[in-house]
Amino acid sequence: MDTIAAISTAPGRAAVAVVRVSGPEVPVIIERLFGSSLPPREPVLRWLRDPESDDKVDQVLVTHFPAPRSYTGEEMLEISCHGGSLAPQLALSAVHAAGARQAERGEFTRRAYLNGKLDLLQAEAILDIVDGRSAAGHRAALHQLDRGLSRRIEELREALVRCEALLVYEIDFPEEDEGPVSPEAVADAARDVLGRIDRLLETAAQGELVREGALVVIAGRPNAGKSSLFNALCGVERAIVTEEPGTTRDAVEAVVSLDGFPFRLVDTAGLREARGTVERIGIEVARRYLANADVVLFCAEAGRPLTEEERGFIEGVDADSIVLVRTKSDLVDRDAPAGPAPGARDGEVIVSTPKGVGLGQLRDRLVAAVFAGLASSRVETPLVTRERHGRELRRARSEVTDFLAARERRVAPEVAATHLRAAGVALEEMLGVIAPDDLLARVFSEFCIGK
Ligand SMILES: Nc1nc2c(ncn2[C@@H]2O[C@H](COP(=O)(O)OP(=O)(O)OP(=O)(O)O)[C@@H](O)[C@H]2O)c(=O)[nH]1
Ligand SMILES: [Mg+2]
């Protein structure tokens, strides 16, 4: 292992930036930069000097973390220098001149993983914390960093090993009719594992949405008040609003946190017979978003019955949830009949954007529609938040199912047991106990430099 260095903080104007250095050369690099060694794990104020010219580079706070008690498990140095566009670059150049090379994406965390400081699920949790944009996503990632999911996977792996152990007698004494463990007990143990995998897999749909945000598409006729609603939910004027129908032509997307849950809100072009090429394309884009929506907010002005076309549209929507939003309620008499009940599965919400009416209720409705279970439960349960986790769990599941089928067919126990071992391998890859190079490359390529 060579010694790597990178700026770990984001670029731009800031009071402080951090340069991280990790690898066996760190003690030598410290001597070269500061002229002496540093006390372990104690931040000290020093002048950082360029090792070639001996010029002052910056006044910094430095901490030496001797191996193995550091983030990566290696010798590490953390330099807190002044922020901004120049100081951190100069500090980094000095570190390079002292003998470190530039770190690659995620290389610090990769080393931490390789040195057993964290497992692959924890490494992914760190990525989620840094990329996180909602309180719920943050909570889930912290739980994962705390090994919530790792422990569940380890328990499953142990259960598989116990299940395999139950077969030992049958393997050693194949002639006996009935050993101390009945075939039924073995099948029960395998079914128990299956049940536990299923309970984890059940969290996958919501877990992935917690990490990525639920797709909420705002649709409706031109001028229905879609962009106004979009802006109100974003809390900023993102989309253009005019009294002219056909204002929005392209989809406008924003990631927002509503009551602590992540949503990807999309404002779309009004649905009607297009008047021109641009509008036609805009409507096609809207339809494409609609096909992938988790929730559709269908906007129609309050106080008027829905048109045939609108009703047809609502019936044709394939999303899990569709909420009819009655817009511009300030323009109608409060007691005016809202018109015939629509086919919206999740009822209707009456809003007025200038008056701020109904927005809280709409937020509640969105959270309930997507994150129902999570919003109400206070208990922390591990969530399956990535496609990769779901894939490994399904692989494990199918091996256990094959094991049960093999037992039904009275396949030789040592042969049936290979399925249990294969299930174990899937779980080990999920944890990163075994990790093929391409898997590691994929996980760590998502990181940024300095992490
Ligand atoms: N009084 C009142 N006017 C509103 C409300 N919401 C929107 N409007 C007005 O309705 C007009 C159309 O609003 P938009 O938000 O641009 O409607 P849209 O559905 O995005 O329209 P297109 O992009 O053309 O499809 C604008 O003049 C808004 O100011 C509301 O709650 N109350
Ligand atoms: Mg619009």
Whether residues 183 and 273 fall in one domain: no
State the Cα–Cα distance between residues 390 and 203, nearest whole angstrom: 10
Whether the Cβ atoms of residue 327 and residue 230 lie closer than 8 Å to each other = no
pLDDT at 270: 85
Query: Is residue 442 domain-resident?
Result: no
Whether residues 248 and 340 fall in one domain: yes
**Which residue minimizes the CA distance to atom 4 of ligand 1?**
328
User: Domain of 249: which CATH number?
Assistant: 3.40.50.300
Whether residues 50 and 147 fall in one domain: no
Ligand 1 and 224: CB distance under 6 A: yes
Whether residues 217 and 318 fall in one domain: yes
Query: Is residue 185 domain-resident?
Result: yes
Task: Give the closest ligand to the alpha carbon of residue 244.
Answer: 1
pLDDT-based confidence at residue 198 (cuts at 50, 70, 90): very high
Output the CA 249–ligand 1 centroid distance in Å.
Answer: 14
Query: Is residue 438 domain-resident?
Result: no
The residue from 58, 92, 114 where one domain ends is: 114
**Which residue minimizes the CA distance to atom 6 of ligand 1?**
225
More reliable by pLDDT, 278 or 382: 382
N-to-C CA span, the chain: 17
What are the residues whose beta carbons fall under 8 Å from the beta carbon of 74, sequence distance 6 or more?
1, 22, 23, 24, 26, 67, 68, 111, 115
Task: Give the closest ligand to the alpha carbon of residue 226.
Answer: 1
**What's the rounded mean pLDDT across residues 245-265?**
91
Query: Is residue 147 domain-resident?
Result: yes
Tell me: is residue 223 an annotated ligand-binding position.
yes
Ligand 1 and 327: CB distance under 6 A: yes
**Quick one: 139 exposed, middle or buried, by C-beta within 10 A (0-12, 13-18, 19+)?**
middle
Ligand 1 atom, smallest distance to 355 CA: 31
Whether residues 73 and 18 fall in one domain: yes
Buried b (16+ CB within 10 A) or exposed e, 268-307: bbbbeebeeeebeebbebbeebbeebbbbbbbbbbbeebe
Query: Is residue 451 domain-resident?
Result: no
Whether residues 143 and 248 fall in one domain: no
Strand ranges in 208-328 using DSSP code E only, listed in sequence order: 214-220, 252-258, 261-267, 295-301, 321-327
Ligand 1 and 328: CB distance under 6 A: yes
Residue type, 402: D
Domain that residue 370 falls in? 213-376
Ligand 1 atom, smallest distance to 241 CA: 16
Q: What is the pLDDT of residues 375-406, one digit of tens each?
A: 766 667 899 999 999 999 999 999 999 999 99
Query: Is residue 146 domain-resident?
Result: yes
Ligand 1 and 270: CB distance under 6 A: yes
Ligand 1 atom, smallest distance to 244 CA: 24
User: Domain of 99: which CATH number?
Assistant: 3.30.1360.120
Query: Is residue 312 domain-resident?
Result: yes
Whether the Cβ atoms of residue 359 and residue 323 lie closer than 8 Å to each other = no
**Which residue minimizes the CA distance to atom 12 of ligand 1?**
223
Q: Where are the alpha helices (DSSP H) in 377-412?
A: 387-408
pLDDT at 406: 96
Q: What is the pLDDT of residues 13-50, one digit of tens each?
A: 999 999 999 999 999 999 999 999 999 999 999 999 99
**Which residue minimizes the CA distance to atom 8 of ligand 1?**
225
Whether residues 242 and 337 fall in one domain: yes
Q: What is the pLDDT of residues 58-93, one digit of tens each?
A: 999 999 999 999 999 999 999 999 999 999 999 999
The secondary structure of 45-73, three-state, reads EEEEECCCCCCEEEEEEEEEECCCCCCCC
pLDDT at 334: 61
On the question of pLDDT at 344 being above 60, the answer is: no
Mean pLDDT of the chain, nearest integer: 90
Tell me: is residue 418 an annotated ligand-binding position.
no
What are the residues whose beta carbons fall under 8 Å from the beta carbon of 284, sequence distance 6 or more?
none
Query: Is residue 449 domain-resident?
Result: no
Tell me: is residue 373 an annotated ligand-binding position.
no
**What's the rounded mean pLDDT across residues 409-426?**
94
Whether residues 241 and 345 fall in one domain: yes
Q: Can you tell me whether residue 120 is helix, strand or coil?
A: helix
Ligand 1 and 222: CB distance under 6 A: yes
Output the CA 50–ligand 1 centroid distance in Å.
Answer: 60
Helices (H) and strands (E) in the chain, counts: 16, 12
Ligand 1 and 303: CB distance under 6 A: no
Whether residues 193 and 219 fall in one domain: no
pLDDT at 379: 63
Whether the Cβ atoms of residue 311 and residue 345 lie closer than 8 Å to each other = no
Ligand 1 and 237: CB distance under 6 A: no
Tell me: is residue 246 an annotated ligand-binding position.
yes
**Quick one: 39 exposed, middle or buried, by C-beta within 10 A (0-12, 13-18, 19+)?**
exposed
- Range among 286-295, 326-335, 413-422 with highest mean pLDDT value: 413-422
Ligand 1 and 256: CB distance under 6 A: no
Whether residues 361 and 251 fall in one domain: yes
Tell me: is residue 376 an annotated ligand-binding position.
no
Tell me: is residue 104 an annotated ligand-binding position.
no
Residue 78: C-alpha distances to residues 2, 29, 65, 88 (Å): 17, 12, 8, 12
Ligand 1 and 227: CB distance under 6 A: yes
pLDDT at 341: 46
pLDDT-based confidence at residue 285 (cuts at 50, 70, 90): confident
Whether residues 370 and 226 fall in one domain: yes
On the question of pLDDT at 304 being above 50, the answer is: yes
Task: Give the closest ligand to the alpha carbon of residue 246.
Answer: 1
pLDDT-based confidence at residue 338 (cuts at 50, 70, 90): low
pLDDT-based confidence at residue 340 (cuts at 50, 70, 90): very low
Whether residues 249 and 328 fall in one domain: yes
Residue 9, token pair as written in the block: 């903080």
Query: Which of 234, 241, 310 has most ligand 1 atoms within 8 Å of CB, for mutation?
Result: 241
pTM, 2 dp: 0.85
Whether the Cβ atoms of residue 2 and residue 25 lie closer than 8 Å to each other = yes
Q: Give the closest residue to 144 by CA, choosing from 414, 316, 350, 384.
A: 384
Q: Can you tell me whether residue 321 is helix, strand or coil?
A: strand
The domain tally of the chain equals 3
Peptide bond into 43 cis (omega under 30): no
Tell me: is residue 329 an annotated ligand-binding position.
no
Q: What is the pLDDT of residues 121-157, one digit of tens each?
A: 999 999 999 988 899 999 999 999 999 999 999 999 9
